[in-house]
Amino acid sequence: MRILLADDHDLVREAIAAFLASEGGAMVDVAGTLPEAMTVLKDKGPFDLIMLDYNMPGMNGLEGLKKMITASGNCPVALLSGTTTRVLAEDAIAAGAAGFVPKTLGSKSMISAANFMAAGEIYAPFNFMQRKSDESSELLTDRERDVLYGICQGLSNKEIARDHNLHEATVKLHAQTLCKKLGARNRTHAAMIARDRNLV
């Protein structure tokens, strides 16, 4: 199996490449940026699998993934990430990724994932996807869920306060706490995250 691995962190890149080669029996070519990976693909391709770091130079989020998918022909392209969120994994797969591989994955699991994706299957670690969803819901108190539901219905803080017999300032405080817990920039973003994670 021939793999193209692109990651801008030298130690991470070399460590993953080493165990894919030694334990997985793969021939691994490496790159440190998306443009460099494109050059390696052009000069040394085709590959059985391409693995791209989500945060390396040239990626620009999922745009880099889409560029590589277009350039690679029929070769599966997977996303590697140290930022492991369920929403990112789902977005990557929806954009055409062959899989989403957290960098925290153990060496044997990483090799299994690589073989799985090279065979044309879609890989996303089920336990990780499930756990992230569950953790998000467990983080929220019942009152925060009430406020979140109101936000998702498009209600103002005043309307949510009236519906639940609360002070408007209390609702505002809950809304701020919600945004912190969900990693949301604002109320609208919190509502989007809540829908994505089936929290309401």
Residue 54 is part of a domain; what is its CATH number? 3.40.50.2300
Tokens representing 162 are 């009236």
Domain termination site, one of 83, 104, 131: 131
**Rounded Cα–Cα distance for residues 174 and 34 (Å):** 41
173-186: pLDDT as tens digits:
888 888 888 888 88
Q: 19 with 107, same domain? A: yes
More confident residue, 9 or 126: 9
What pLDDT is recorded for position 133?
45
Q: 42 with 100, same domain? A: yes
Q: 113 with 14, same domain? A: yes
Q: 146 with 174, same domain? A: yes
Q: 171 with 115, same domain? A: no
For residue 11, give its domain range: 2-131
**Rounded Cα–Cα distance for residues 103 and 84 (Å):** 8
CB of 115 closer than 8 Å to CB of 138: no
Residue 5 backbone zone (phi > 0: left; psi -120 to 50: alpha; other: beta): beta
3-class SS of residue 169: helix
10-68: pLDDT as tens digits:
888 998 999 899 888 999 999 999 999 999 999 998 999 999 999 899 999 899 999 99
Contact partners, residue 125, CB within 8 Å, separation at least 6: 100, 101, 102, 105, 109, 113
Count of C-beta atoms within a 10 Å radius of residue 164:
15
CB of 3 closer than 8 Å to CB of 91: no
Q: How many domains does the chain divide into?
A: 2
Dihedral sign, Cα of residue 92, residue 145, residue 127, residue 57: positive
Domain termination site, one of 131, 163, 181: 131
CATH of the domain at 163: 1.10.10.10
Contact partners, residue 42, CB within 8 Å, separation at least 6: 71
Domain termination site, one of 131, 157, 173: 131
Q: 119 with 27, same domain? A: yes
Strands (E), 45-155: 49-53, 77-81, 99-102
96-137: pLDDT as tens digits:
999 998 887 778 888 989 998 998 888 886 555 554 444 454
CB of 96 closer than 8 Å to CB of 117: no
CB of 117 closer than 8 Å to CB of 49: yes
